[in-house]
Amino acid sequence: MMRGTRPRREPGPLAAAPPAEADGRFLADVVEGLGRRPKALPSKYFYDKRGSELFDRICTLDEYYPTRTETALLHAHAAEIAGLCGRGTTLVELGSGSSVKVRALLDALDEPAAYRPVDISGEHLLLSAARLASDYPGLRVEPIVADYVEGFALPADTPPERTLAFFPGSTVGNFTPEEAQDFLQRLGRQIGAGGKLLIGVDLKKPRHVLEAAYDDALGVTAAFNLNLLARINRELDGTFDLDRFAHRAFYDAGKGRIEMHLESLDDQTVTVAGVPFRFARGETIHTEVSYKYSVAGFQRLANGAGWRCVRTWCDAEGLFSIHLLTFG
Which domains can be identified in the chain, with CATH numbers? 38-328 (3.40.50.150)
For residue 92, CA distances in Å to 36, 180, 205, 277, 326 come to 35, 18, 30, 40, 14
- Where residue 10 falls among pLDDT bands split at 50, 70, 90? very low
Cβ partners under 8 Å of residue 56, min gap 6: 97, 98
Is 70 exceeded by the pLDDT of residue 232? yes
Residues 6+ apart with CB under 8 A from 85: 1, 109, 164, 196
Instruction: Answer yes or no: is pLDDT of 65 > 80.
Output: yes
Mean pLDDT estimate for the chain = 90
pLDDT at 14 over 60: no
The 8-class DSSP code of residue 160 comes to G
Q: Give the DSSP per-residue string, 215-233.
A: S-TT-HHHHHHHHHHHHHH
Q: What is the pLDDT of residues 165-205, one digit of tens each?
A: 999 999 999 999 999 999 999 999 999 999 999 999 999 99
More confident residue, 121 or 250: 250
Which region among 6-20, 104-118, 289-303 has the lowest average model confidence (pLDDT)? 6-20
Which range scores top for mean pLDDT: 40-54, 73-87, 114-128? 73-87
pLDDT at 236: 96
- Report d(CA 229, CA 290) in Å as an integer: 20
Handedness of CA 225, 229, 232, 234 (dihedral sign): negative
pLDDT recorded at residue 2: 26
Among 28-32, 52-56, 65-69, 194-198, which stretch is predicted with the lowest mean pLDDT?
52-56
The pLDDT score that the predictor gives to residue 19 is 41
Q: What's the average model confidence in pLDDT over 247-273?
A: 97
The pLDDT score that the predictor gives to residue 187 is 95
User: Per residue in 122-174, pLDDT tens?
Assistant: 887 888 899 999 999 999 999 998 888 888 888 877 789 999 999 999 999 99
Ranges 13-27, 28-42, 244-258, 304-318: which has the least confidence: 13-27
> CB under 8 Å to 22, separation ≥6 — which residues?
none
Pairing of strands 257-264, 163-167: unpaired
- Residue 136 parent element (H or E): none
**Cα–Cα distance between 218 and 272 in angstroms, integer?**
30
Answer whether residue 86 shows pLDDT above 80. yes
Q: What is the pLDDT of residue 96?
A: 78
Over 70: is that where the pLDDT of 37 sits?
yes
Using alpha carbons only, give the angle 44, 251, 254 rounded to the nearest 5 degrees.
110
As a whole number, mean pLDDT of residues 35-57 equals 92
Task: Report pLDDT digits (tens) over 266-277.
Answer: 999 999 999 999
Calpha distance 31→166 (Å, rounded): 33
- Position 301 confidence tier, pLDDT thresholds 50, 70, 90: very high
CB 35 within 8 A of CB 271: no
- pLDDT for 7 equals 29
Question: Whole-angstrom Cα distance, residue 9 to residue 113?
Answer: 7
Could you tell me the pLDDT band of residue 5, with boundaries at 50, 70 and 90? very low
Burial of 67 (0-12, 13-18, 19+ CB in 10 A): buried
Residue from 216, 213, 222, 226 nearest 257 by CA: 213
Question: 291-300 burial, b for 16+ CB within 10 Å, e for fewer?
Answer: bbbebebbbe
Distance CA 316, CA 324 (A): 18
Residue 249, classed as helix, strand or coil, is: strand
Residue 17: the pLDDT is: 35
Long-range contacts of 310-314 (CB under 8 A, 24+ apart): 310/84, 310/196, 311/80, 311/81, 311/84, 313/73, 313/76, 313/77, 314/73, 314/203
pLDDT (average), residues 16-21:
39
- Find out whether 220 and 58 touch, Cβ atoms under 8 Å: yes
pTM (two decimals): 0.85
Least confident segment among 87-101, 130-144, 288-302: 87-101
d(CA 43, CA 76): 31
